[in-house]
Structures are given as structure tokens and as C-alpha cells.
Amino acid sequence: MTKFDIEISEVGPRDGLQSISAIMSTEDKIAWIDALVAAGIPEIEVGSFVPATLLPQLADTHQLVEHAKQYKGLSIAVLVPNLRGAQNALKTSPTKMSIPLSVSETHSLRNVKRTHKQMLEEVANIAQFIKSLPVENRPKFEGGLATAFGCTIEGSVNEDSVVSLAVALMEAGCDEVGLSDTTGSGNPAQVKRLIKKVWAAVGKENLSGIHLHNTRGQGLANALAAIEVGITTVDSSMGGIGGCPAAPGASGNIVTEDLVFMLEAMGLRTGINFEKLFEAREILAKALPNEQLYGFTPNAGLPKGFKYAR
């Protein structure tokens, strides 16, 4: 796929679905993924390799990875909680594999039942396992710094701790790190400041993406702040579905449809077609009729005379 100004990583099939009780059928997920690809979404996080007993909503992730591999150029992302999950994921050869390391250790214990030390050991073991694979089967390995902007359990998070854990993740073998506002606590000034601090510690080339939640209505403002300082990949979720089961009160991700409108209206190319994006939303709405979908752009429509960025 063509490289555009900002890459949208659609996380709805993973982050969106893991936080709702309804189980979307594999058939509907496949139709949704197909529609997202048709809309021009360059990266899709199709699921997570966690035990089905914990997240039955994501039990078919391996099937979704295999299906998505038919699309040449599509970045297929998955999340893994530990080495075992990574080994299962690597059997399917995804493009990108992320592991969450919560800066809040309390959140880490609740989310993956591991301390920072234990998680870094998992990361090192995964990195070593990846190196044992043929080069063509090695995914990009990202360490996601969860609760980087605040925690609903511990409260404020020390920025120096975020930086030190970013360094530790790179030293343990990650190819890159990502910043996650898991609880929607961040603000634009904080976003800019923390990105610059992490860049200074690990290099700008090792932090290109950010994952934001809209819990307090700051999602798009935070995305814009990140883009203004140079972030090039932004996670979002169609309809704003999602959240974090381990973080009380953490509501959904920023809305893909609204994010794309903001970027295209600003003259930043995303490569995404709105007509087809809205068609993908209809598939999601029909598959999950009892779930509320958010977004101003789908409801208001595109303004008269709207033109895509060139």
C-alpha cells in the first residue's frame, strides 16, 4: 500500500471487541476486515492471542490473521500477553506483534498478572524466539507502554518511569515502542512532552505510533498534538468502541471516522475513502446491534464541497 502522511491503525477488531460482552461471529469479523481493507485502512489489529477462556471474543484471531494475509501490503497486527501467546501468534506470521507493558505496575498485575521485571523477561524471551525464525517470518515487535499518561488505579504516572521502561523494552529486544493512553487521562501538552522525552532516550525512529482513548474527550486533541510533533501512526477504532477491562472507567478509543476527517480536512493524506469507510461501519452496526457506536462525522456526513487531501 502507498505510504501516506499519517497511517491509521484500526484497532477495533481487537481493542474494540475485547471490551464488550457480545461475541461477534467470525463471518462478520471477516466481512468487517474486508470492508476496512476496501476503505484503504493500511493496518488492522485483528485480535489478540490470549486464552479463549479469558477473552472468548477474540478466540478466532488465528483465523482472522490467515484470512487477512490475502491482502498484499496490509499490515496485520496482533497483541500478545506473554511468550506462550507470542509463540501461538508466530505460527500465523503476522506483520506486527505488540506486547503491553503497563507503566503502572498495579495495572500490569491486574492486566497480565506480571510485574515489570517479569514482563521484561517475557519480552526478552519473545525477542530471542523471534530471532530463531527465518527472517521472512519475523514480525515487527513493538513494546506498548500502557497507562503512559495516567492510571485509574494508581493515579498519575511518573514520566521518567515511562522513559526508563521505553529504554528497557528496547534493550530487551523490541524493534520499537508505542505510547498508550489506556485510561484517557492525557492532555495535549503532556502528549507532546512525553513523546519528546521518549525520543530523546530511544531515538525518533523507535517511536512512531500512539494509542489514545477518548475517556475525557481529549482523544482528537491528543492525536493532533502527537501529529504536530511528528508521530506518523495513530491507532483508532471504528465507532469509538473499546476500552480496557483492567482499567475501571476507561472508555473507548478515538473514532476512526472522525480522526480520518480531521486529518484529510487538514490536508494530511490517509489514503482512506469515506464512502467505503461508512460501508464498513454499517457492517459493524449490523453485527453488533446492541452496541452504541460513536462519531460525529458518520452522523453529520461530509461537508458540502469536501475534498480529500492531495
pLDDT digits (tens, 9 = 90+) for 152-176: 888 999 999 999 999 999 999 999 9
Identify whether 309 is part of a domain: no
Average pLDDT, the chain: 94
Q: Is residue 16 scored above 90 in pLDDT?
A: yes
Identify whether 1 is part of a domain: no
DSSP 100: E
**In angstroms, rounded to a whole number, what is the distance separating the alpha carbons of residues 177 and 207?**
5
Band the pLDDT of 9: cuts 50, 70, 90.
very high
pLDDT given at position 110: 85
> Minimal CA–CA distance to 182: which of 65, 291, 79, 304?
79
* φ, ψ at 191 (rounded to 5°): -60, -50
Identify whether 249 is part of a domain: yes
CATH number for position 198: 3.20.20.70
Catalytic (active-site) positions:
244
Domain count within the chain: 1
* φ, ψ at 190 (rounded to 5°): -65, -40
Identify whether 28 is part of a domain: yes
Q: What is the pLDDT of residues 186-228, one digit of tens each?
A: 999 999 999 999 999 999 999 999 999 999 999 999 999 999 9
28 and 285 Cβ atoms separated by less than 8 Å: no
Identify whether 307 is part of a domain: no
Which residues, including other chains, have CB under 8 Å from residue 92's CB and lie 6 or more apart?
A: 62, 65, 66, 69, 78
Q: What is the pLDDT of residues 229-282, one digit of tens each?
A: 999 999 999 999 986 655 555 568 999 999 999 999 999 999 999 999 999 999
Find residue 176's DSSP bridge partners: 142
Identify whether 306 is part of a domain: no
Identify whether 206 is part of a domain: yes
- Whole-model pTM: value is 0.95
Grid cell in block for residue 19 = 471490551
- Alpha carbon distances (Å) from 247 to 117, 163, 187, 218, 267: 21, 22, 18, 17, 35
pLDDT given at position 2: 47
pLDDT given at position 249: 52
Q: Which domain holds residue 23?
A: 7-300
Identify whether 2 is part of a domain: no
Q: Is residue 47 scored above 60 in pLDDT?
A: yes
